[in-house]
Amino acid sequence: MIQSLFRYLKGYVKIRITGYSPERFLNMCCFHGIRIWELKSVGNAYEMYISLAGFRKLRPFARKTHMRIYVTQRNGFPFFVQSYRHRGALFAGILLSILLIWGYSLFIWDIHFEGNDKWTDEALTEFLKTKEVSPGMRKKKVDCPGIVKAIRKEYNDIVWVSASLDGSRLKIQIKENEDALPIISSTQTDKSNKTDSLPADLVASTDGIITNLITRTGIPQVHIGDSVTKGTLLVSGRIDILDDSGEITGYQYTHADADIFADTQISYLDIISCYHNKKVYTKETKKSGFIQIGSVRLETWKPKMSATSEKLCIAHQLKLGENFSLPVFYGHETIKKYGFKKIKYTKKEMQTILSSRFRYFCKDLEEKGIQINEKNVKIYISAEKATASGTLYLNQQIEEETETERITLERNEPDESVGTDH
Higher-pLDDT residue of 148, 320 = 148
Residue 409 has pLDDT above 80, yes or no: no
Q: Say which residues have a Cβ less than 8 Å from residue 80's Cβ, sequence separation at least 6.
A: none
Mean pLDDT, residues 209-235: 94
pLDDT of residue 63 exceeding 90: no
Most confident among 2-16, 135-149, 159-173, 369-383 (mean pLDDT)? 369-383
- Mean of the pLDDT values across residues 94-109? 81
What CATH superfamily is the domain 87-183?
membrane protein fhac (3.10.20.310)
Please determine, looking at this structure, whether the domain spanning 2-82 carries the CATH number 3.90.226.10: no
**pTM for this model (two decimals):** 0.45
Mean pLDDT along residues 112-139: 85
Instruction: Among 108-112, 236-240, 358-362, name the one with the lowest average pLDDT.
Output: 108-112
Q: Which residue has the higher pLDDT, 70 or 93?
A: 70
What b/e readout covers 277-310, taking b as 16+ CB neighbours within 10 angstroms?
Answer: eeeeeeeeeeebebebeeeeeeeeeeeeeeeebe
Domain ranges of the chain: 2-82, 87-183, 196-259, 275-344
pLDDT of res. 325: 66
Overall average pLDDT of the 183-197 stretch: 46
Task: Give the mean pLDDT of 161-176.
Answer: 86
Q: What is the dihedral of CA 219, 223, 227, 233, to 10 degrees?
A: 0
